[in-house]
């Protein structure tokens, strides 16, 4: 069994969260029922939902006037929900294309209305974040993907717009402090830093809802979900429960400031080894390197078999790179420990 899980998602979660979740599968808080069988209308689950929402607001310092939703369909459904709710029939949206997921988000919007790619890093296989582009006035919204899991890049500064600013933060939410007030809507699939796959977090400014001239199907309407407190239909109970446990864990670790410090230290450990070790080279531009997904290549492919055997022997899993980039990808999400990062660093150093 691997001890060091570098999977890109679903990914590593804290061991104490797993243990509490496992206990709840048999018996939730001594009520004699499994968390998998309780009603989503029960007082027990309503308490879970309320606590999860409250912890999101507390940990991320969400201002007044925003709703916290737990929806379904992953970030992929958000690619469609965003334009349905925010792109007017005669309006215009712009996308910053920084990877495969940003490209898919744009594709959904372009199929529904007037959307354009404002800037792209496709010319260099998405190994950098575009800069120096001018954001036109009068946009309904500007959409960014803050961290790019496949290519290992991350926005260090966010663009501004006189329209709405929308962000897919699936792979770096809860990893660092962010100013929520700069965004009108943030969405994130749970399966990176929040919990298991099955729910999607949406943080949306209430005043932007119900403004479009478009007829929105009920299941795609943020306002309907907000009014129903994320229970318009049966929510993914277990995924939300585990997310709540993980949010409790984050708070106990010292909150977002402590989490950010820990993540920065882990990233520095790994990038330092990549930069000093002649057998490895990073794929992303230095200034745009992700603190969540570290992508790197061997400089000598004849060492591949030896390295693959070495990291497997060190009980490391999930570091094979995505086919779009090749090489290796170490996803160092919140729950991955410094000890796990050190295990990989030691393996790389021994190879040299």
Q: What tens digit of pLDDT does each residue of 119-132 get?
A: 999 999 999 999 99
288 is catalytic: no
**Confidence (pLDDT) at 150:** 97
Spatial CB neighbours of 18, under 8 Å, sequence gap ≥ 6: none
In this prediction the pTM is 0.97
Mean pLDDT, the chain, as a whole number?
Answer: 97
Domain 15-252 sits in CATH at 3.40.640.10
**Confidence (pLDDT) at 173:** 98
Q: Which of 140, 168, 221, 288 is catalytic?
A: 168
192 is catalytic: yes
Domain 255-351 CATH class label? alpha beta
311 is catalytic: no
The pLDDT tens digits of the residues spanning 218-243 come to: 999 999 999 999 999 999 999 999 99
Closest CA to 59 of 341, 334, 267: 334
Strand ranges in 190-308 using DSSP code E only, listed in sequence order = 200-205, 280-282, 293-298
Domain boundaries along the sequence of the chain: 15-252, 255-351
**Confidence (pLDDT) at 282:** 98
pLDDT grade, residue 64 (50/70/90)? very high
The pLDDT tens digits of the residues spanning 169-183 come to: 999 999 999 999 999
Q: Which of 192, 221, 266, 311 is catalytic?
A: 192
Q: Which of 101, 172, 288, 311 is catalytic?
A: 101
**Confidence (pLDDT) at 107:** 98
The pLDDT tens digits of the residues spanning 24-47 come to: 999 999 999 999 999 999 999 999
Spatial CB neighbours of 128, under 8 Å, sequence gap ≥ 6: 121, 153, 284, 285, 288
């Amino acid at each position: 069994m691997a001890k060091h899980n570098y999977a890109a998602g679903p990914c590593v979660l804290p061991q104490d969260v797993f243990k509490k979740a496992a206990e709840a599968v048999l018996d939730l808080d001594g009520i004699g029922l499994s968390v998998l069988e309780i009603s989503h209308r029960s007082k027990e689950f309503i308490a879970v939902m309320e606590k999860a929402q409250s912890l999101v607001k507390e940990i991320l310092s969400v201002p007044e006037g925003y709703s916290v939703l737990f929806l379904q369909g992953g970030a992929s459904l958000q690619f469609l929900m965003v334009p349905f709710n925010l792109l007017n029939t005669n309006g215009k949206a712009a996308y910053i294309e920084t990877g495969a997921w940003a490209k898919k988000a744009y594709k959904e919007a372009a199929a529904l209305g007037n959307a354009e790619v404002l800037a792209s890093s496709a010319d260099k296989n998405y190994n950098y974040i575009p800069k120096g582009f001018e954001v036109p006035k009068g946009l309904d919204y500007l959409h960014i993907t803050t961290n790019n899991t496949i290519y290992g890049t991350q926005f260090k500064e966010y663009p501004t717009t006189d329209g709405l600013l929308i962000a897919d933060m699936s792979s770096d939410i809860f990893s660092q402090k962010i100013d929520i007030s700069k965004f009108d809507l943030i969405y994130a699939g749970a399966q990176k830093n929040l919990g298991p796959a099955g729910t999607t977090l949406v943080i949306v400014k209430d005043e932007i809802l119900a403004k479009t001239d478009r007829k929105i199907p009920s299941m795609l309407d943020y306002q309907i979900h907000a009014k129903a407190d994320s229970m318009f239909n049966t929510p993914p109970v277990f995924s939300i429960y585990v997310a709540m446990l993980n949010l409790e864990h984050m708070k106990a670790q010292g909150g977002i400031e402590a989490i950010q410090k820990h993540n920065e230290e882990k990233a520095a450990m790994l990038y330092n080894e990549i930069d000093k070790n002649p057998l490895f080279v990073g794929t992303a531009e230095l200034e745009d390197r992700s603190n969540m997904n570290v992508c790197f290549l061997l400089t000598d492919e004849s060492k591949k078999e030896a390295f693959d055997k070495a990291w497997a022997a060190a009980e490391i899993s999930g570091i094979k790179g995505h086919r779009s980039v090749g090489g290796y990808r170490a996803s160092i999400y919140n729950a991955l420990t410094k000890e796990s990062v050190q295990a990989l660093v030691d393996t790389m150093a021994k190879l040299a």
